[in-house]
Amino acid sequence: MRIGFVGLGAMGRGLAGRLAKAGHEVRAWNRTPPAPHLLGAGIAVAAALSDLATSEVVVSMLAHDDAVRAVFIERGLLQALPAGAIHVNMATISVKLARELGDRHAALGLFYVAAPVLGRPDAAAEGRLQLLVAGPEAAIARLDGLWAILGQHVWRFGDRPESANGAKIASNLALACAIEAMGEAAMLAGAYGVPAGPYLEMLTATLFASPAFRMYGTLIAEDRFEPAGFRLALGLKDVNLALAAGAEVSTPLAFASVLRDQFLDGLAHGEGDHDWSAVVKAGRRHAGRA
Amino acid sequence: MRIGFVGLGAMGRGLAGRLAKAGHEVRAWNRTPPAPHLLGAGIAVAAALSDLATSEVVVSMLAHDDAVRAVFIERGLLQALPAGAIHVNMATISVKLARELGDRHAALGLFYVAAPVLGRPDAAAEGRLQLLVAGPEAAIARLDGLWAILGQHVWRFGDRPESANGAKIASNLALACAIEAMGEAAMLAGAYGVPAGPYLEMLTATLFASPAFRMYGTLIAEDRFEPAGFRLALGLKDVNLALAAGAEVSTPLAFASVLRDQFLDGLAHGEGDHDWSAVVKAGRRHAGRA
Amino acid sequence: MRIGFVGLGAMGRGLAGRLAKAGHEVRAWNRTPPAPHLLGAGIAVAAALSDLATSEVVVSMLAHDDAVRAVFIERGLLQALPAGAIHVNMATISVKLARELGDRHAALGLFYVAAPVLGRPDAAAEGRLQLLVAGPEAAIARLDGLWAILGQHVWRFGDRPESANGAKIASNLALACAIEAMGEAAMLAGAYGVPAGPYLEMLTATLFASPAFRMYGTLIAEDRFEPAGFRLALGLKDVNLALAAGAEVSTPLAFASVLRDQFLDGLAHGEGDHDWSAVVKAGRRHAGRA
Amino acid sequence: MRIGFVGLGAMGRGLAGRLAKAGHEVRAWNRTPPAPHLLGAGIAVAAALSDLATSEVVVSMLAHDDAVRAVFIERGLLQALPAGAIHVNMATISVKLARELGDRHAALGLFYVAAPVLGRPDAAAEGRLQLLVAGPEAAIARLDGLWAILGQHVWRFGDRPESANGAKIASNLALACAIEAMGEAAMLAGAYGVPAGPYLEMLTATLFASPAFRMYGTLIAEDRFEPAGFRLALGLKDVNLALAAGAEVSTPLAFASVLRDQFLDGLAHGEGDHDWSAVVKAGRRHAGRA
């Protein structure tokens, strides 16, 4: 397939590389041209956005709403695509923008598929992402050959793109909650003589026995928040996406509100570039245990 | 071994039964005499607490601080035990009482081992409990033959009994947080068209991929809060244990404070006897989604 | 003075009327033309925004950021004003927009004075508003004759317009907190046999002895939330302004976060058009006391 | 009247002094004998609690539940009083103990009147306390001559003593909320260039225009938390009384839960002996503004 790829950050590079390696014709564009050695073989770097105008499929993995809006709406990539083209947006964006994009694509005779992911850059590069997918069924079916390249499992959430984004935002919220929960629990156990290391080893071998929690448990136990796998400032962005999605449907989210304050506390203490699991340090400071 | 067993609720019955089946001489006592058909073979029911006075080891599994205090202190079981006897307390009690019991046992020449557990009655009956153990090392070693009967894995947390209770209380807090997190996430996803069933199936197959979360995810998705595996009123008790343990060491626990309010909300709506995962209904009510 | 007045809602009408009555030449504009009988004598209704272009002073009292942005930026009123003109913005807007407007005015040779107010429509009509004023000192001094017409007292907060908005937003937050506090206190006293009426009469005659609290205490005690003096949906808007202002400077505001959730709860229960003091009903519902 | 007085702390001394000065025969007892120069003229210091056994009225002003329980129940003052005697308890105690004391007095043929107060030691000494009174009507009437000596105004809350305590606990909660509200508002205004001094002067001259708030506003603006008028550790005690009273009737109190965490944060930072208005420093620390 002739695939346009937009957004060559750590996640995007891995995905674009996999598509190229699988034999697809990949033409990729990034706001700032990527260093060639970072790109996998077989990826043509587009000098201009308009070079993507002949794509059958455009896959995008951008950082946030504003970037998506800039590329597809303001700089006109949507208008440039041929009727019938499919846009697969893998970024974590707001439900509001997802809904708007769905409408704009439909109005132009394009197909919009939301496919936000669970997983970090290493999982992206190794095809282990979980794909949360929603959009027009026919379009999703046409991409049958791509899904197995992009990730490990496709979770289908209906034909309204924003459903996949709602599910993704909710999942990041749940994960942030679990991180805070591990932080509070480890701090409490620690106050009674159980060090965070053995405590979180136990917790993530029993109740919290999932690979994600084991990984975060290790970071917390070892106070290893740099370099960031996912920046605390982006964690706040995601909590804000959850709060905004909740507000749109008059739905208070009690834990999310607390998290927002803990993340702000982290920012206020210069930890915006630490891993988002450093959010547990706010609670430690409140207890005079920083 | 000559084992006295105190507390024949759903958890205690399973544990006492396993000890008897393994060939130990088990004499069990309960405040209200248990129905014989509920007890496993080989368990002698003690008519009086004093019948336990010749035990080498007393294992107790009582409901809360007050029950422990009543049996061991006020009704004098501690005084009655022979010097050198070991008391293994598997209940979830406060760190404060654990510390006091440690002192009292030592003063009487007895050994106090805290061994609170992770797991429900079925796990107790099948030897699948996780045992969080702290206390005098010599005593713990003397019980070497018992641990494999009582549970699946022993997590050792040093020689201060209250450390095991701190770890246990922290873990129940973490679990309650995860339940609330799943509830908020499912509610948010649901507001954007993803039903709780498929949403939580995805979440507990990926980020939250642990058996405990899968079980609770199913209860939440199916709104199946009766009969209770663990009562919401007891959930509040456990959150209060966490808050009290935190307060004793001037440690605020932001999520725990929110949980306390959600559990009170559940009580106020007549759900004290529902499963504690029904706590997610408070958030639904706040959003007008009950 | 030749005064242009923008925004003829309940607040604006009172203020415009006072200016006209004091002998100023007032030309007023509203997005939807106001019913003549609602306007005081001596106010000329402008058919077009451009009719305000010869004003020495423009006073505006619009509902929110978007309305201010629409009139002054998008529809070009700023560009139309003569150099040296002063814009007095009495609305509650975000600190971010206040800062932007300050810059835009300066760039055009105009003066921007922020003068948000404390008080309701009756206070506006009777000259009893408290004026929170910040902006270029020379401009504020030139308006010396106007302040006593617009309100009862001028509180000067320096020459950066956003300071006045920060102070105003903070004050609405404080007031919303006091309302929630009265609600929680009255609910608790009520649970022990002290009805809200006598309880709040005592509270607002002692610790909370201010006219504002007496007024809200009466509304709460009498459950009299309609008609709204200030709508709950606008209360949420103001809490969100506080949260946004806090976030911009990495400042968590714990009570504000709780309030946001209580207001959302009110919206979810159809109370967006009730008086904002109806926010206390969320707490009652959580206690099963609605 | 022959009046026994129990508890000669800063509050009690002022009250006992006023009673003596008004011509009553006052015999006073304190756990540790008070320095004579601290006591007003005309107060006889009782060497033993039993010296109070002939009192027609006992007025007590003790620090907390435990002290009340120790003196009246454990050390037997209740049993020693003559039938028909009246006990006026002016301390802030739990609703639970108030209820129990009401029952115990009635069973002994005594009258129990709850009369907790609003006001600090200076107000006690000058007769400016607000008295929140509940208990048997006949007893309250018999004390008609005393009330005007003890305080400025009597607020009657029915015949169940715990009602007065519920009202008092609720009022301290409301006051603590107002302090936190002023703290958050001043911090937010401060972040936009309005210093706490002028900001809180404005706020406590307008929306928060009550003497209590002006006093606390000054402490907050001047960062003057020592010496303490009312200790932060006691503030936490009072918030806990509110939470306990709420929990007893399944009533979550969202602001109270947040306050508990802020007070714990203060304790964790060594501020337990500062004035309780120092609780606002927790929020400053969270924002990196300490």
Cross-chain residue pair B189–A209, CB shorter than 8 Å: no
D250 vs B251, B257, B268: nearest CB:
B268
Written as six digits, the tokens of B219 are: 């209860």
DSSP A44: E
Q: Do residues B111 and B87 make contact, with C-beta atoms less than 8 angstroms apart?
A: yes
Sequence-distant (6+) residues with CB within 8 A of D32 are none
Do C252 and A258 count as a contact with CB atoms less than 8 A apart?
Answer: no
What are the tens digits of pLDDT across the range C61-71? Answer: 999 999 999 99
Instruction: Name which of D166, D175, D207 is nearest C210 (Cβ-Cβ).
Output: D207
> How high is the pLDDT of residue C194?
98
* Residue B262 touches partner D, C-beta closer than 8 Å: yes
Cβ–Cβ under 8 Å, residues B154 and B133? yes
Going by C-alpha positions, the residue among A6, A2, A57 that lies closest to residue A29 is A6
Residue found by looking up tokens 């991929």 in the block: B209
3-state secondary structure of C87: strand
Find, among B113, B103, B49, the residue nearest to B81 by Cα. B49
Q: Average pLDDT of C252-263?
A: 98
Which residue stretches of chain B are H helix? Answer: 10-21, 65-68, 77-80, 95-107, 121-125, 137-142, 144-150, 161-191, 196-203, 211-222, 232-248, 254-268, 280-286
Please judge whether B286 and C288 are an interchain contact, meaning their C-beta atoms are less than 8 angstroms apart.
Answer: no
Q: Which two tokens stand for residue D192?
A: 């936009």
Does the annotation count C96 as an active-site position?
Answer: no
Give yes or no: residues A203 and A144 share one domain.
no
Indicate whether B125 and B6 sit together in one domain: yes
The pTM score is 0.97
Please tell me the predicted confidence (pLDDT) of residue C225. Answer: 98
- B257 vs chain D: nearest CA distance in angstroms? 6
Q: Count Cα neighbours of B163 within 13 Å in the Cβ-side half-sphere.
A: 18
Q: Residue B265 sits in a domain of what CATH number?
A: 1.10.1040.10
Given B159, B181, B214, the domain boundary residue is B159
Residue D158's region, left for phi above 0, alpha for psi from -120 to 50, else beta, is left
Phi, psi (rounded to 5 degrees) for D254? -60, -45
Q: Do C268 and B287 touch (CB under 8 A)?
A: yes
Scanning every residue of chain A, which has its alpha carbon at the shortest distance from the alpha carbon of D265? A286
B20: which residues sit within 8 A by CB, 6+ positions away?
Answer: B26, B40, B41, B42, B43
Containing structural domain, residue A253 = 166-286
- Scanning chain C, the segments in alpha helix (DSSP H) are 10-21, 65-68, 77-80, 95-107, 121-125, 137-142, 144-150, 161-191, 196-203, 211-222, 232-248, 254-268, 280-286
pLDDT tens digit string along D62-79?
999 999 999 999 999 999
To which H or E segment does residue C209 belong?
none
Q: Which two tokens stand for residue C2?
A: 């030749």
Q: Are B206 and A213 in contact (CB under 8 A)?
A: no
Contacts of C94 in chain D (CB under 8 A): none
Asked if the model's pLDDT at residue C37 lies above 90, the reply is no
Residues of chain B with pLDDT under 70: none
Q: Looking at the structure, tell me whether residues C105 and C145 fall in a common domain.
A: yes
The DSSP result for D29-42, as a single string, is E-SSPPPGGGSPTT
Pair A55, A136 in one domain: yes
- Choose one of A108, A137, A159: the last residue of a domain: A159
Of the partner residues A251, A260, A261, the one whose CB lies closest to the CB of residue C264: A251
Compute the distance between CA of residue C193 and CA of residue C206 in angstroms, rounded to an integer. Answer: 20
B145: Cβ–Cβ under 8 A, 6 or more apart, which residues? B1
Q: Contact, D273 vs D229, CB < 8 A?
A: no
Task: Tell me what pLDDT residue B279 has.
Answer: 98
If one counts every other C-beta atom within 10 angstroms of the C-beta of residue C161, the result is 31
**Which chains have 3 or more CB–CB distances shorter than 8 Å to chain C?**
A, B, D
Contacts of C266 in chain B (CB under 8 A): none
Same domain, D38 and D20: yes
Please report where in the chains the tokens 């409408």 appear, as a residue: A103
Chain A residues with CB-CB distance to B194 below 8 A: 157-158, 163, 166-167
**Number of C-alpha atoms within 13 angstroms, CB side, residue D15?**
36
Among residues A21, A96, A168, A281, the one annotated as catalytic is A168
Q: Which of B21, B96, B168, B237 is catalytic?
A: B168
Interface contact B246-D264, CB threshold 8 A:
yes
Q: Are residues C182 and C231 in the same domain?
A: yes
Q: Is C88 helix (H, G, I), strand (E, B) or coil?
A: strand
What would the two tokens of residue A17 be? Answer: 């590389």
A201 shares a domain with A106? no
Please check the confidence at residue D105 and state whether its pLDDT lies above 90.
yes
- Which ipTM did the prediction report? 0.97
Q: Tell me, yes or no, whether D202 and D264 share the same domain.
A: yes
Task: Say if residue C118 is in the same domain as residue C75.
Answer: yes
Whether residue C167 lies within 8 A of chain D, CB to CB, comes out as: yes
pLDDT reading at D39 higher than 90: no
Tokens at A89, concatenated: 């947006």
Look up residue D82 and give its DSSP letter: P
Specify the residue for token string 């929140």.
D132
pLDDT at C28: 97
Taking only residues 186 to 225 of chain A, the set having a beta carbon closer than 8 angstroms to any beta carbon of chain B reads 186-189, 191-194, 198-199, 202-203, 205-213
**Residue C226: phi, psi to the nearest 5?**
-135, 140
Is the bond into B161 cis (omega within 30 degrees of 0)?
A: no
Over residues D243-249, mean pLDDT:
98
Which tokens go with D276? Answer: 């309780």
Beta carbons of B24 and B36 less than 8 angstroms apart: no
Number of domains in chain B: 2
| Domain-ending residue, one of C159, C174, C203 | C159
Mean pLDDT by 10 residues, chain A (290 residues): 96 97 97 84 93 97 97 97 97 98 98 97 96 98 97 98 98 98 98 98 98 98 96 97 98 98 98 98 97
Q: Are residues C124 and C21 part of one domain?
A: yes
Helix, strand or coil, per DSSP, at residue A191: helix
Asked if residue A171 lies in contact with residue A26, where contact means CB atoms within 8 angstroms, the answer is no
Candidates C15, C9, C62; CA nearest to C40 is C15
D120 and D19 housed in the same domain? yes
Other C-beta atoms closer than 10 Å to the C-beta of B227 total: 9
The answer to whether C185 faces chain D, any CB pair under 8 Å, is yes
Q: Do B269 and C288 touch (CB under 8 A)?
A: yes
Q: In angstroms, what CA-CA distances link B253 with A65, A161, B239, D282? A: 33, 37, 10, 14
- What is the C-alpha separation between D285 and D290, in angstroms, rounded? 5
Task: Provide the pLDDT for residue A33.
Answer: 87
Q: Among A245, A279, A259, which Cα is nearest to A116's?
A: A245
Residues A238 and A273 in one domain: yes
Residue D263 structure tokens? 């007070």
Residues of chain A in contact with residue D284, where contact means CB-CB under 8 angstroms, are none
Of D268, D282, D286, which is closest to A268 when you measure between CB atoms?
D286
Domain CATH number, residue D82 = 3.40.50.720
Mean pLDDT, residues C230-251 taken together: 97
Q: What percent of chain C has pLDDT over 90?
A: 96
Q: How far apart are CA A41 and CA A20, in angstroms?
A: 7
Q: Please give the pLDDT value at position D226.
A: 97
Residue A229, classified by CB atoms within 10 Å of its CB into exposed (0-12), middle (13-18) or buried (19+), is: middle
User: What is the distance between the alpha carbons of residues C237 and C260, in angstroms, rounded to a whole number?
Assistant: 9
Crossing angle (nearest 10°) for helices A196-203 and B161-191: 50
- CA nearest neighbour of B169 among B234, B113, B232: B234
